Amino acid sequence: MIQAFGLTSNPRKDTPPAVDDISFEARAGHVTALLGGPGAGKTTALRLMLELQQGRGITYFRGRPLHRISHPSREVGVLLGDVPGHPARTVRGHLRMLCAAAGVPVCRADEVLEVVGLVSLREERLGTLSRGMDRRLGLACVLLSDPHTLVLDDPADGLSARETRWLQGMLRAHAAQGGTVLITAGDPKEVARSADRVVSLDKGKVVADQAAADFARTRLRPRVAVRSPHAARLAALLAKEARADRRSVEVVREGGNRLSVYGGTCADVGETAFRHGILVHQLADEVGDMGPGAGTEPDTAAASAAEAQGDADGAPAAGAEPERSGAVGASCPAVTAGSPSAARSAATTRPEPPSGQRKRVGAPRTLDALPALPPPISVRSAPSPLRPLRYEIRRATGIGTGFLIAAAVLVVSVVTAVLLARIGHTPQARLLAAWPQQVPLPPAALGAGLIGALAFGDEFRHPALAADRGTVPRRLGLLAAKLLVTAATALALAVLAIGCDAEMLYLVYGRELTQVPADWFPAGASWLGLVIGCAWAGVLAAGVFRSTTAGLAAVLAVPVVVVPLVHKAFEGPSVRTAAGFPLRVREVLLVQWPFGGERYLVAVARVLAQPVGSALALSVTVLLCAYLFTTLRTRLR
């Protein structure tokens, strides 16, 4: 169950808080709805509950706040807004990537796709999905780790009547199996059909906390919707006959040829129109919203309750505006066994199952039965993502951006090497690396830095690991996975760039320009360290500043800003130098390393002694410390 106490958002300047002292309870086995119009504070309340926004108050999910749950996605499934996935990623690829993050088997993606009806669209890109399909994918992401609690922000927004009924059936099935469901909505009639308990919000405060039957009796009001080309004349006649018969009838002009008649029936309105020869295009019973502060209407309480408990499958979803209201049959059908209404009544009156136990329904599925949910799974408790390396590999290879960058880098590197060879006066090492003197970094280093910046930049643009856009968990395991994957990518890019440049120079100019330099080992170590260091700088800078642009800017700032400063520091007056460093290293090592291992240590020291290597190492160290500082500060809040 969910228990929220005193949720209050921080006010901005002189404006009152968007949410002010909201407290409510959402029981297990029930669907609870937060109802309110735009600006009522529904989304803000959810963000405070999920600790995505600063404020006061506390929320318990089965007795524990969210920050004390070891694996939050196992306990709470959240969907705020659209699915935060990369538009170029496939539906199945997105779910398989989240499987690695949640620590569940990869076959779980196919199970939830079958449940939400997206098996035929599993290879479609996220950017091509319609609103309804995006909502289905969002529900699949929520159900992926089999959470006990579902928290959905306006899940039926923009859906058709058929998709809305399907979504309500899925939520009802989850609640029927012992789960907790909390949704937000702005349509009172939709809430009366789908929820067991309704918490009404207005201007950031709770104005009512009622069961669905009480809510329907006090909030909803039956009316007759009329559409006629002679609406004004018919309204006058209805008012005149009501006064003559001393009946309490209210006729409201909705604009154009529409009327709303409160206190009358379809038979009364139809007989009046027939007697006076007035053409009627529409005549139907509907339910109107009386507003969040409405009281009980004694004359219409029974009709309102019966209307709210009517067959949800026979009534289309309707908005609060009269023009978008769907017609409801004049007589409510009886609730029969096996219907959604009967299932809702049974779920409302059944005893609440013990905490953590969810009953699985094994009955065969029929047209009137609740939709089947995916089978339960076993997930070990650990901070997410549980498998960061697998997640990062799927994230990096799920879209073609990295492959396109690598291809572009190789083409630019080959062309640059050929042009430098034609011009001449370029050292052999720079020629093979395609690094002109006037350019701060070679193409391979720039490409590695861009790939590294995208590793964290895509997380903040399309935060698949977060409950909301812009919020990405700062985990050291995730950082280590990104550094490892980008290092492997940069290493492959560096080797391919040198190989392609050497092969093209051999084809164009012959073997003379492809000779291996005498100091190939320190030069190769410097080259690999440069490319990997640029990739790491891009990862760390993008993680600290939450932007791909900032990550690439940090990579460019190393040769443009940091290297001159380090070079100037090295050129300053010094009394002692590091001459004879390799010899002293061999003397310090008591045991001689096999295969001349001390040479590697000396090569690393020489790389770090260079201005570029020192500047890059300094930049990566500073960015790593900044990332660790922000991570610790986030955890201490």
Q: Which residues contact 407 (CB under 8 A, 6 or more apart)?
A: none
What CA–CA distance (Å, rounded) separates 445 from 528? 9
Non-local (6+) Cβ contacts of 512 within 8 A are: none
pLDDT above 50 (res 60):
yes
Per-residue confidence (pLDDT) for residue 288, from 0 to 100: 67
User: Considering only CA atoms, which of 328, 339, 305 is closest in space to residue 212?
Assistant: 305
Query: How confident is the model at residue 345, as a pLDDT?
Result: 38
Looking at this protein, which amino acid is placed at residue 95? L
Instruction: State pLDDT tens for residues 125-160.
Output: 999 998 889 889 999 999 988 899 999 999 888 788
Beta strands 197-202; 220-227: pairing state? unpaired
Question: According to the model, what pLDDT value does residue 405 have?
Answer: 95
- Residue 408 banded pLDDT, cuts 50, 70, 90: very high
Q: What is the pLDDT of residue 381?
A: 42
pLDDT-above-70 percentage for the chain: 76
Which pLDDT band, with edges at 50, 70 and 90, does 377 fall under?
Answer: low
Banded model confidence at residue 565, pLDDT cuts 50, 70, 90 = confident
Q: Which residue in this structure is represented by tokens 């001449």? A: 424
DSSP 158-227: T--HHHHHHHHHHHHHHHHTT-EEEEEES-HHHHHHH-SEEEEEETTEEEEEEEHHHHHHHHEEEEEEEE
Residue 625: CA count within 13 A, CB half-sphere: 5
CA distances from 521 to 60, 313, 527 (A): 59, 74, 10
Q: What is the mean pLDDT of residues 493-520?
A: 87
Cα separation, 406 vs 398, whole angstroms:
15
The H or E element that residue 268 is part of is: helix 266-275
Distance CA 372, CA 274 (A): 49
pLDDT score at 370? 61
In this structure, are residues 551 and 453 in contact, taking their beta carbons and an 8 Å threshold? yes
Confidence label for 346 from pLDDT (cuts 50, 70 and 90): very low
* pLDDT score of 311: 36
- pLDDT range class, residue 367, cuts 50, 70, 90: very low
pLDDT score recorded for residue 494: 94
In the predicted model, what is the mean pLDDT of residues 437-453? 92
pLDDT of 382 above 50:
no
Beta-sheet strand order (sheet of 180-185): 76-79, 149-152, 180-185, 31-35, 197-202, 205-211
Alpha helices by DSSP H, 424-463: 428-433, 443-461
pLDDT given at position 600: 60
State in Å, rounded, how far the first CA of the chain is from the last one. Answer: 25
**What is the average per-residue pLDDT within 321-338?**
33
Q: Tell me the pLDDT tens digit for each residue of 577-630.
A: 555 555 555 565 555 555 555 566 566 666 655 667 777 888 888 888 988 888
What is the pLDDT at residue 307? 35
Take residue 520 and report the two structure tokens written for it.
């190939």
Residue (of 153, 110, 155, 150) closest to 131 by Cα position: 155
The larger pLDDT score, comparing residue 172 to residue 374, is at: 172
Nearest to 384 by CA among 60, 75, 51, 113: 75
Residue 204 predicted with pLDDT over 50: yes
Which residue would you say has higher pLDDT here, 498 or 589?
A: 498
**380 token code pair:** 């070990």
325 secondary structure, DSSP code: P
Is residue 347 scored above 50 in pLDDT?
Answer: no
Please report, rounded to a whole number, the percentage of residues in the chain having pLDDT higher than 90. Answer: 31
Q: What distance in Å separates the CA atoms of residue 102 and residue 588, rounded to the nearest whole number?
A: 49
- Given the structure tokens 């009358």, which residue do they identify? 264
- How many angstroms separate the CA atoms of 187 and 191, rounded? 6
- In the predicted model, is pLDDT for residue 406 greater than 90? yes
> Is residue 155 reached through a cis peptide bond, with omega within 30 degrees of 0 on the bond before it?
no
Q: Write out pLDDT tens, residues 78-117.
A: 988 888 888 999 999 999 998 888 888 888 999 999 989 8
Distance CA(392)–CA(394), nearest Å, equals 5
Mean of all residue pLDDT scores within the chain = 79
Residue pair 354/441 in contact (Cβ under 8 Å)? The answer is no
| pLDDT band, very low/low/confident/very high, at 365 (cuts 50, 70, 90) | very low
145's tokens: 């780790």
Q: Which residue has the higher pLDDT, 440 or 310?
A: 440
When mean pLDDT is compared across 413-422, 459-468, 476-485, 507-516, the lowest value belongs to 459-468
Q: Which residues of 501-520 are buried (b: 16+ CB within 10 A; e: fewer)?
A: bbebbeeeeeeebbeeeeee
Greatest CA separation found in the chain? 116
CA 517 to chain centre: 51
Number of H-type helices and E-type strands within the chain = 23, 13
Tell me what the mean pLDDT of segment 27-51 comes to: 91
pLDDT value, residue 430? 86
The span from the CA of 90 to the CA of 607, in Å, is 42
- Given a cut of 70, whether residue 335 has pLDDT beyond it is no
pLDDT for residue 343: 37
Q: What is the pLDDT of residue 384?
A: 47
